[in-house]
Amino acid sequence: MMEAAGFLTEHMVTHILAMNVGAPLAVLAWRLWRGSGPAPGYACWIGPAALVQITLLWAWHLPAPMAFALGTPGGTMLMHGTLVLSALWFWRAVLEEAEEARWRALGALAITGKLFCLLGALLTFAPRVLYSRAAEIHMGGPVSAAALLPDQQLAGLLMLIACPLTYVLAGVVIAARWIRDIERRSPTYLPEESR
């Protein structure tokens, strides 16, 4: 039997870097380049953007679609491509809503972040290997389950670490800006004796 050599961990690192680092940075760069003009209306469809992102993330990480992606020519590219495009749409919608309706951005981050973390928890705490067929396809032969389980657990743990570093951090930044703006708009009341 072959050793898994961390195939799922490598896969998850690619997803995390693309969806949780690359996509938000690309959207921020695009917003800086575009300037402060009004955003197109379709960019603010935060509900559909969140739904598409989380649906694709969960769907691609089911055992059968994962095996399909690794065993079909162009399957991995299709998986990564759809996940990156959905992440770009999601982060664009979040950043647009962060200016227009912050509560929607915070809600989308909370729901999507929780479901992202839930997938990571399932991978981390699953009592058995979930991707044995995908590993066999990736490695070109039977793979030791003893090697796959720690790899699966590490991949899930990386998701659990990435979740607060992206979704929660983005939520904290948006909430802090919201509070700052509320404080700026609120009149300051001084006690009678200090006037």
Tens-digit pLDDT profile for residues 123-159? 999 999 999 888 888 878 888 878 889 999 999 999 9
Check pLDDT > 80 for residue 194.
Answer: no
Q: How far apart are CA 143 and CA 156, in angstroms?
A: 19
pLDDT on residue 2: 45
Check pLDDT > 70 for residue 191.
Answer: no
Residue 38 or residue 92, greater confidence: 92
Q: To 10 degrees, what angle do helices 63-71 and 46-60 make?
A: 80
Check pLDDT > 60 for residue 169.
Answer: yes
pLDDT on residue 1: 44
pLDDT on residue 137: 86
Query: pTM of the prediction?
Result: 0.83
pLDDT on residue 154: 94
Return the number of other C-beta atoms located less than 10 Å from residue 191's C-beta: 6
Beta bridge partners of 2: 143
Which of 60-64, 90-94, 113-117, 176-180 comes out lowest in average pLDDT? 176-180
Residue whose entry in the numeric block shows the structure tokens 């509320």: 182
Q: How far apart are CA 148 and CA 12, in angstroms?
A: 14
Amino acid identity of residue 178, one-letter, is W
Name the strand (E) or helix (H) holding 110.
helix 102-125
